[in-house]
Structures are given as C-alpha cells and as structure tokens.
Structure 1
C-alpha cells in the first residue's frame, strides 16, 4: 500500500502555472481550489480547457475540488446563508463540468454572530445536508473539513450527526489540539476519505511546508498506516515556495517508505 499524494494550487498565484508546477513536481493528482483572486470561478471557467489539459499530465488529473473556507454557511441571516449555499452549488457545477473530480471539500465555518453553539451546530448541519444532497445529484462525494478555530469535538458531533465523510486537515487539527482526536475519529468511524497536510507551530493556521512546524509527522504517518488509510493526501503548503511544496511531497513519500520498512527516524525540519 502506497500513499496517493497530490497538491493544491495557491489561489494567490496564476492557476495554470500553479497546476504546471504541481505536475512538474510529480504529484499524483491536483486538488483545485476555486477561490479569488487568481482562481475564482470566473477565471477557472474562462481557462477551463487549459486547466484540464495541463492537469491531465499528472497521473490522475483533478480529482478533488476545494471550495472557499470563508463561505458564510452558518450565519444568523437566512438570505445571506442561502446565497452562500447557492454559490457553493455553482462551484459543484463547475467541478462536475471538469469531469474527473470525485470529491468536493467544504468547511465547518462558524459565525461569531450566534450566541448559542447549539443553534450554530443545527444551522451548520442543515446547510451541510443541503450541500451533501446537491453534490450527490452532480455525481460528487461531499467531504467535510475541520476548521482551525472551533474545538475538535464540535467537528466530531457534526460528522456523527450527518454520518458524513471526513476531510481531516492535519494542520487545522493541530492548532486546536485535536490531532489525536481526529485520527481516533477516523479509526472509529471509518469515514476518513481525504487528508490535507501542511505544517504549523501549534498557535495559528500557517500552511507551512511539511517539517517547518511542530506537527509530529512520523506519528501521523504511522497512525494513518496503522488504521489502514489508503486514500488521498493533499499537500496544502501556501508558503509561496513551489520548491518547498515539491519537497513536502518528497518528505511524505520518504516517511511512508521508512515506516513500511519498520524504521523509526526523526523528520529533519525545513526551518526552526
């Protein structure tokens, strides 16, 4: 069993040149995030033929679609929430048009406008139920990603309530001290379908290269292997260094090979 490793485009950079760099780094697939300023829906639609052609040079092409994390799908104004959900559905239609996309990732975004956590969670579950239905109608599988602000226990309740598929963001989980909880939830539910990998120092969501922060990657990779995970892992390094993003993929593969050999070794950090 070997890891299937892809990378996500940085939405602050030209979308086609980002995909070219991901393909050049020999990643297995592309996770396309549709976000302004350089990968908005309008830009992606305008350059769709070029995007698909470039991504097809990777082993699997674009197999994961990623949506903006800040869409207000939990907000005390129903008209605003409905508009946000409508915008996400338009993203789903775009991913369906690409043809190769299997998964679409949405986020547990919470609004500070609610006083009651219970009301927030019910509102989120209602929004995600609609998105799950809309994704399935377009031949896509909805994955719910944990956020870097809320207690991980909240994400766990949402996953259990919806019987939903997980996108476990390791960097986000580490910030809220939920790394072990996330891996345990994946083991208990069997719902882990996709992983996001990027590093940080445990204080904020930095999206650093693998090894540049404090995440215990040897523990993470050993645990993923132990629970039998054989899905996709996307490097989500937004450090704006394409060389370091390529190196992140190499490090993940190296760790996996060493663990398969039964070796225990320390990951040499990229930075402090």
Structure 2
C-alpha cells in the first residue's frame, strides 16, 4: 500500500509537503494546473527531488455527462487530452468525479456509463488507471449505490473518498458501499469530517470510524491519498500514519 498526499494545483505545495510520501496527487485542467499553459520542467524536477510518483485529479468544474451529445464528446475528448499528458509524466492514476448535469435523471445514467467507459479507455491508452470518485454529497454527484453499480457494469476502478461517503450517508453509507463494492476500490481519499459540515480534517479530528473502513478493506493493496486541507506537514504525516495503522 502506497500513501501519498493531495497538493491541489500547486507545484509549490508539492515541493513543500510531499517529501516522505509515495506520490503526489495534482489537480489538473481548467482553473488548476493546465499542462498546455505550463512548463512542466519544474513539476518533473519537484517529483524527482522528493522521490515521489504522480497521480492526477481530473477537472471537476464541468460534469462528466449531459443530455447534449456534442458536449459529451467534447468533455471526453478534453479529458483524453489530459490523460495523454498525464501518461507522458508517468502518472499512475487519474481521479474523476462521478457527476452528471442531473444525477437523479435515471434515463441519463447510461450516458454517464458510456462517458465513463470512453474516458477509462483513454486512460488505458495513456497508461494511466482511471478511478471514479464518489461525490454523492454534492448536488451533481451520483449516489453511492448508483456509482457502484455503474463502476461494476463498466469495469471501472473506484476512488473511494471516505469523508465524502460519510457526508452523504454516515458510517452506514461507508459500510453499505464497501460491503458491496470493496473489490472495485483501487484508490482511497482519506480525511476526517464532522456531520455539521466540517470536512477534509486531519484523521482523528472528526467522526469517521476508520476501524470500520479497515474491517471492510482488509489487506488493502491500493493507493491512499491523504486529502487534508493543510500545508502543516506534521499533520499530514500524522494522518498518513493513522491511515496506515488502520489499513496495513
């Protein structure tokens, strides 16, 4: 099991926080780190200096699926371009939010499945594993069970965001999803949350039962990204140690 850390769109944050972690997860595209507008030499040098690999988070400003076919083609093509770029940097995984214009429109869910399959194929072509992330607590996010069913149907790996699942349906939501779909989980986002809305806290500062996560993901061999919104390196390392203590 490799433990890394999310760094948003900032190479500077990568340089400051990733030493000692196995990988950095960098947000790319649109308002984040835009490959076409950026000289990648500093990013490559930063990764080399801390001995870390790269994972990427695909843009989430736009949804994955709409009711307009031409928009869907453009979205898939744009993400394919980003995946191709990520592949040139040796990225291991690319995280994609599971979003639709209207996630409750059941007639459009097959469209999401088709989009997901196309984007995953683009990842395969680039040598980057696509992992689809649960964001059902957000207005345009697919519910946990729907995401699980579509991921299984399309053979797509899952980025299971523990805090997001808790925000959507508490520890019960975590348990139900992992009971049914744990075999699909290749990548984890770990952080803590409180039911009142505080999220991306250091592990131990909130309400998530990580013992339950460990019980339902025994011998987890995937990647784990600490997604705690701080640049305080000791806090990041403490959350990483806590995640390891539960999952290893």
Q: TM-score range by the shorter chain?
A: 0.7 to 0.9
TM-score (norm 1): 0.79
Q: Cα RMSD between the aligned structures?
A: 2.3
- Please identify the structure whose Cα radius of gyration is greater: 1
Partner of 2:87: 96
Residue 41 of structure 2 is aligned with which of 43, 49, 52?
49
Q: Deviations over 1:77-127 (max 9, x none)?
A: 2222222222211210210121x2122221210213x7x632221110011
Query: By how many angstroms is 1:23 displaced?
Result: 2.4
Q: Give the secondary structure class of the aligned counterpart of 2:45.
A: helix
Q: Deviations over 1:32-82 (max 9, x none)?
A: 221454523345xx23111111112344421x2211233222212222222
Is the 1:34–1:68 contact (alpha carbons within 8 Å) kept by the matching residues of 2?
A: yes
Q: Give the secondary structure class of the aligned counterpart of 1:167.
A: strand
Partner of 2:23: 29
Is the 2:194–2:207 contact (alpha carbons within 8 Å) kept by the matching residues of 1?
A: yes
Is the 2:134–2:143 contact (alpha carbons within 8 Å) kept by the matching residues of 1?
A: no
Is the 2:175–2:216 contact (alpha carbons within 8 Å) kept by the matching residues of 1?
A: no
Is the 2:8–2:25 contact (alpha carbons within 8 Å) kept by the matching residues of 1?
A: no
Q: Deviations over 1:183-209 (max 9, x none)?
A: 21344xx22211111221135473222
TM-score (norm 2): 0.86
Residue 129 of structure 1 is aligned with which of 114, 117, 122?
117
Q: Give the secondary structure class of the aligned counterpart of 2:201.
A: coil
Residue 157 of structure 2 is aligned with which of 141, 165, 176?
165
Distance 1:186 1:203 in 2: 27
Q: Give the secondary structure class of the aligned counterpart of 1:176.
A: helix
What residue ranges of structure 1 are gaps of 5+ in the alignment? 261-272
Q: Give the secondary structure class of the aligned counterpart of 1:73.
A: coil
Query: By how many angstroms is 1:236 displaced?
Result: 1.2
**What is the number of residues matched between the two proteins?**
241
